[in-house]
Structure 1
Amino acid sequence: MVTVNLDQVMAQPVNLDTAAFPPLTNDLYLRAARGEPTERAPVWCMRQAGRYLPEFRAIRVENEFFKVCRTPALATEVTVQPIRRYAGLLDAAIIFSDILVIPQAMGMVVQMVPGKGPHLPEPLRSPEDLHRLTDKQPGYSVDKELDYVYRAITNTRHALEGQVPLLGFVGAPWTLMAYMVEGGGSKTFALAKSWLFKHPVASHELLTRIADVAAEFLVGQIRAGAQAVQVFESWAGELGPQDFAAFSLPYLARIAAHVKAKYPDVPMTVFAKGAHYALEQLAADTLYDVISLDWTVDPAVARSRVDAAVQGRRTVVLQGNLDPTVLFGDEQTIRERTREMCRAFGTQNHIANLGHGMMPSHDPELLRVFLESVHEASRT
């Protein structure tokens, strides 16, 4: 049984000095994300800090989910756990937080219910409910509402001691709107999608407001020490091409444009899960440096489409995309499928990852097999 000394974790002083970060000794992820030549593909995993790790579960025994997010010492510990366990195998850390801190910061109650997941007990049921959101109130400050994330980022940069870069992230507007209207996850997204068709003006207002909070939040994360950021449009695949073009793409582009205007050299990734049809638009009509792919997209086809869309104007890096359920297979299968993935992407302009996040029932040692396999397969 894995235990974590919580007293020792909480006793560590929180370091908020943004002027004295340790020098970075592994910049492979950052070079790859900028489209620079690399000796191998870097690798990290979405949800690499999470419930599949016994050391994470030990933290959660005594700490509610959002308490971990809101306590910089705990968020730092959880973020560093996979870097510690897989020493030398991961090329990036991602701050432990949740996409739903934005609805919280906009005045909504969000609970993480054991066995159920996120629950918003007072969802937005009609356009009249927009008045309950706090982001337009006098004196509202994104930085004030989400300062605990910034503190965790700064503290984690010090705790990582320069081993790997630290990534920040946000949820994308359509995905967050879906949670805010549905009150949680959904099989059909009927309530959220009905907003798009019944209340298009209100939908665009809500999406714009979420996008502006998300953009300011990313700027704050970078200011606090995040060295790259990712935008998660987890429910992109619930929209058809026409609706994605109307209700998702403009807001993804808006976020990237805002952040790039302030931090043009900070790599940005977009993950629009299920939106295979939108690869060209994501590449040509937004400023993201990296497009993350789910496992249903053929890497060679994706590369061809993205390159055709940008026509040499810039380099767009691809990230992904092993099916996470492959990690339920045996070691030989994981190694073979990982080698196939790396061959399909090639050795350059690729960041190895899963096609979605780690699952609670994954065996941590089989993730190690995946990480080792990337190292073995992706060297030039």
Structure 2
Amino acid sequence: MSTLQNDLLLKVLNGEQTSRPPVWMMRQAGRYLPEYMKLREKYGFFERCQTPELACEITLQPIDIVGVDAAILFSDILVVPQAMGLEVQLIESKGPVLPDPIKTAADMNRIRVPDVNETLQYVFDAIQLIKKELNGRVPLIGFAGAPWTILCYMVQGKGSKTFDEAKAFCYTQPELAHQLLQMITDTTIAYLKAQVKAGADTVQVFDSWGGLLGKDDFEHISLQYIRQIVAALKDEVPVIVFAKGAWHSLESMAATGAKGLGIDWCIPAHLARQFAGDNVVLQGNFDPAKLLSPIPVIKKEVKAMLDAFGNKAHIANLGHGILPNVPVDHAKAFVDTVKEYTS
């Protein structure tokens, strides 16, 4: 295996001092890049995910075009429910649809904890190809959705701002909900372990809907399952946990053994640090919509963000995924400002 030419991300995750923070952007491989749009016109979404050559090409685009310090695998969190036996459709500009969601105990018979090497081999093939093509330029981040976030889609059957049906499922059929959460957890652990075996240098768990739960529910419905995932992987690779909006639980997330915690733009750096403590790296927290500002404003705001974190245990990133309408030179301005930063 080639040694990494740029290992800033891994150094920071392992608690080492670096001259500047590493920088990457959630959803950096995709919809704001013209090169990605060309592939999108030719191939369906899951075709892009399931064809290792395409997934590889898309993963590498932001490294070449924007100059980030890490690659993140091009895939989707919904490959997991797909592997478990649910149909998932991705409708461009409308989002995911799962036509036969889980509502009752009988529905549970339609899903299983799969052999990930049978159902998700295309992901591991893509990772091996990406590692070869990256040739040590930057580390590769693997990922999966957190069990609660995956349950949201498996039960609601589509995207939602509130996921009230998914919450109602947990509150009215708790035994069933926990059975489903455990199945997702078991699948996710096997899936991430196989990503690491294929070559992922670090993994991120995305709990996009973690912030929809209050502190106690977050512990009970989400964090106890994330904790299992971190425990299963933390001795193999550094794990980053990003539970958007769940700032109330930064302290308990830090206690999982995760090396990094992603935060969104609604919590200031000093408060996040106070909650999370000093033994974990914070990742974030630039508002993705701010990338639509004029470039001089972006540069000023990025510097302000970096100053707020201090050059201490920080990975520069957005507080959520990059928006499709962000101009590429604005994304580049974000990355370049971090690269030029000296505290």
TM over 0.5: yes
Q: Cα offset for 1:134?
A: 2.5
Residue 35 of structure 1 corresponds to 15
Contact 1:109 1:122 in 2 (8 A): yes
Residue 276 of structure 1 corresponds to 247
Q: Write the distance in 2 (CA, Å) between the matches of 1:185 and 1:375.
A: 35
Q: Secondary structure at the match of 1:248?
A: helix
Q: Write the distance in 2 (CA, Å) between the matches of 1:227 and 1:114.
A: 30
Aligned equivalent of 2:100, options 122, 127, 130: 122
Residue 156 of structure 1 corresponds to 130
Q: Deviations over 1:296-347 (max 9, x none)?
A: 011111112222xxxx7xx210000000011010011101110110001111
Q: Cα offset for 1:375?
A: 1.6
Q: Write the distance in 2 (CA, Å) between the matches of 1:174 and 1:219.
A: 19
Aligned equivalent of 2:285, options 293, 296, 321: 321
Q: Cα offset for 1:276?
A: 1.1
Note the 1:349-364 alignment, pairs <5 A: 349-364=313-328
Q: Secondary structure at the match of 1:37?
A: coil
Q: Cα offset for 1:348?
A: 2.0
Residue 304 of structure 1 corresponds to 274
Q: Write the distance in 1 (CA, Å) between the matches of 2:314 and 2:211.
A: 23
Q: Write the distance in 1 (CA, Å) between the matches of 2:148 and 2:63.
A: 31
Q: Cα offset for 1:240?
A: 1.1
Q: Cα offset for 1:265?
A: 4.7
Q: Deviations over 1:338-374 (max 9, x none)?
A: 0110001111200000000111111111001111111
Contact 2:239 2:260 in 1 (8 A): yes
Aligned equivalent of 2:27, options 47, 50, 59: 47
Residue 68 of structure 2 corresponds to 90
Identity over aligned pairs, percent = 47
Residue 3 of structure 1 corresponds to none
Q: Deviations over 1:98-145 (max 9, x none)?
A: 00000000001101112211111111122321111032xxxx412211
Contact 1:339 1:374 in 2 (8 A): yes
Q: Write the distance in 2 (CA, Å) between the matches of 1:33 and 1:295.
A: 21
Residue 289 of structure 1 corresponds to 259
Q: Write the distance in 2 (CA, Å) between the matches of 1:59 and 1:32.
A: 34
Structure 2 unaligned regions, length at least 5: none
Q: Write the distance in 1 (CA, Å) between the matches of 2:236 and 2:103.
A: 40
Contact 1:127 1:199 in 2 (8 A): no
Contact 2:284 2:315 in 1 (8 A): yes
Q: Cα offset for 1:187?
A: 2.7
Note the 1:172-211 alignment, pairs <5 A: 172-211=146-185
Residue 4 of structure 1 corresponds to none
Aligned length: 343
Contact 2:112 2:183 in 1 (8 A): no
Q: Secondary structure at the match of 1:76?
A: helix
Q: Write the distance in 2 (CA, Å) between the matches of 1:213 and 1:134.
A: 9
Instruction: Return the TM-score normalized by structure 1.
Output: 0.89
Residue 111 of structure 1 corresponds to 89
Q: 1:256 and 2:226 equivalent?
A: no
Residue 11 of structure 1 corresponds to none
Which one-letter code corresponds to 2:157 in the other structure? G
Q: Secondary structure at the match of 2:340?
A: helix
RMSD: 1.0
Contact 2:29 2:58 in 1 (8 A): yes
Q: Secondary structure at the match of 1:51?
A: coil
Which one-letter code corresponds to 1:125 in the other structure? K
Residue 64 of structure 1 corresponds to 44
Larger Rg over CA atoms? 1
Structure 1 unaligned regions, length at least 5: 1-20
Instruction: Return the TM-score normalized by structure 2.
Output: 0.98
The runs of 4+ residues in structure 1 deviating greater than 4 Å are none
Residue 301 of structure 2 corresponds to 337
Q: Write the distance in 1 (CA, Å) between the matches of 2:301 and 2:194.
A: 38
